[in-house]
């Protein structure tokens, strides 16, 4: 639900106001521990919509596969705003994300068990228009730009 980047000693971030955005929390072993519950309460008070997951590793590993594909697509387009206007790049990005998710599956991580991955598993004629709509959100575009512009080279 939050993303961005660091520049010198400043942190730049954006908070997504999308209806289905949330902040996944969890322990590696899937247990719901007191520290996860405590963090969930704090994030809830900050309106960051925490969700406690018993499969946080599935979410995290597949999230990186998705982020790698999206970053490549956005960099290829030149910016997040140009990305959402370029259907060909979005299609290529979706295919790259699917390759990443296929690697996750070969590693024993089933991407289908994570709700956030459903978009990328749909047929392209369905997923591309949905992606254009979702990724046109200003906060998401700021997050993408922050991830790309402020990540280590």
What pLDDT does residue 69 have? 94
Burial profile 128-140: b = 16 or more Cβ within 10 angstroms, e = fewer: beebeeebebebb
CA distance 139 to 13: 9
Q: What is the pTM of this model?
A: 0.84
Q: Identify the three-state secondary structure at position 7.
A: strand
Give the residues across from 47 on adjacent strands.
none
What pLDDT does residue 16 have? 66
Strands 2-7 and 10-15: antiparallel
What pLDDT does residue 152 have? 60
Is residue 63 within 8 A of residue 38, CB to CB? The reply is: no
Nearest residue to 136 (alpha-carbon basis) of 84, 90, 94? 84
User: What parts of the chain have a pLDDT lower than 50?
Assistant: none
CA distance 29 to 103: 22
């Amino acid at each position: 639900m939050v993303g961005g980047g660091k520049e010198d000693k400043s942190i730049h971030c954006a908070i997504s106001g999308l209806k289905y955005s949330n902040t996944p929390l969890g322990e590696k072993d899937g247990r719901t521990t007191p520290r996860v519950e405590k963090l969930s309460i704090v994030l809830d008070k900050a309106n960051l919509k925490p969700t406690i997951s018993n499969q946080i590793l599935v979410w995290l590993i597949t999230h990186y596969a998705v982020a790698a594909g999206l970053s490549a697509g956005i960099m290829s387009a030149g910016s997040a705003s140009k990305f959402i206007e370029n259907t060909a790049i979005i299609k290529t990005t979706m295919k790259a994300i699917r390759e990443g998710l296929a690697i996750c599956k070969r590693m024993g991580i089933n991407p289908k068990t994570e709700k956030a991955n459903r978009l990328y598993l749909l047929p392209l004629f369905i997923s591309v228009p949905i992606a254009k709509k979702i990724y046109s959100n200003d906060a998401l575009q700021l997050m993408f730009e922050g991830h790309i512009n402020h990540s280590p080279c």
